[in-house]
Amino acid sequence: MLVMMDALLPTAFMLLLSTGCNSGQEALLPGSFDGAVGGSATFQTTVPSTGEELDTIIWEFTTDGSANAVTVYNSTNKGTESAYEGRISVNKSTGSMELRELTKNDSGNYSVNLGLNGTAETTLNMYDNITEANITGPTGVLIAGNGSANLSCQAAAGTLISRKWLKDGQSLSPSNRITFSNDSSTVSIDPVQGSDNGHYQCRLTNPVSTDTGSYHLTVNFGPEKVAIVGSEKAEVNSKVELACNASSVPPATFSWLVNGTEKETQHSFIIENTTLTDTGDYTCVASNNVTGLTSSAVHFLTVTAPDPPPGPESSESLSGGAIAGIVIGTIAGVGLIGGGGFFAYKKLF
């Protein structure tokens, strides 16, 4: 049966004194305990379970220098302080105690006396669960190089121990443009750049809970790195496609000029059947309607006529052997004429 606590408290203290608070054995596992409001905590003793009940189990709670018995169990006294009734369970074989429906008021020091099985003290630290972590950020339009952004991280409830900032899943570190407040609740980026675009997270933690807030930061920039991809040479009657790319937020719009004359207003410039007159400079102009900036790139295309196919040999043309024969015959003829002239000259004289 339960003993009234006004009688239980002096009895508990007398039992603590009479058992001598045997310090030869630590009755609790080392370290403190962390508890969440509304949750439970188990104070685990080092006594092995034998199936037999211990002779003495006395749990005591101390806060603000005041000691209060939680529960007493021995051969002559069995009782639990009214504030703990229905909230605790004690293993009679090991002396371990489970404390449920935790409140912030349960934070403090706890001691246990298990008679010949030893005594020990420990601390229960209570924390509120962190809920509804949230990041607030700028509401206006941000343009790279021309503004700043402040991101603030808070929670609707909970005991905050630490904050950790991440960008696109990677730890966010301070730099010459990025600074943190002393408690890391705010991140300031000044000035913002295109590289600051991304998914930001703030991870709030304490020993019993973690919650994360998220925010997507958009910084308008560009167009930058405009480039044209496509063939530089083509033959007449072939298809040519030139594609223009640029880094830009929001995505850039494109227009094309051929030798200075505007032609198209789209990402690609396509010539289905080229002609020699398509040779020239192709300029892509990228524009950003938020930043008001433009940038361009030039691509030179050369269109050539295909080489004529080789024709069949003419039937009237002479082969190499025939030409050689003619040359040899000519030389021989010249020789004969020369020889005849020599003999005629000799006969006359």
Q: Does residue 316 lie in a domain region?
A: no
> Residue with structure tokens 């040519």?
240
What domain range includes position 237?
Answer: 221-304
Q: Which of 57, 92, 127 is the last residue of a domain?
A: 127
Are 19 and 111 within one domain?
yes
pTM: 0.73
DSSP 217-277: E--BEEEEEEEEES-SEEETT--EEEEEEEEEESPPEEEEEETTEEEE-SSEEEESS--GG
Q: Structural domain tally of the chain? A: 3
CA 74, 77, 78: angle at the middle one, nearest 5? Answer: 85
Q: Does residue 195 lie in a domain region?
A: yes
Question: Which H or E element spans position 105?
Answer: none
Q: Within 10 A of 2 (CB to CB), how many other CB atoms are there? A: 13
- Using one digit for the tens of pLDDT, what is the confidence trace for 273-291? 999 999 999 999 999 999 9
Question: Which H or E element spans position 334?
Answer: helix 320-348
pLDDT, residue 51, reads: 83
- Using one digit for the tens of pLDDT, what is the confidence trace for 187-246? 999 999 999 999 999 999 999 999 999 999 999 999 999 999 999 999 999 999 999 999
Instruction: Judge contact between 26 and 122, C-beta under 8 A.
Output: no
CA dist 251 and 49 (Å) reads 69
Are 12 and 92 within one domain?
yes
Which residues are 152's β-sheet partners? 136, 186
For residue 278, the domain's CATH number is: 2.60.40.10
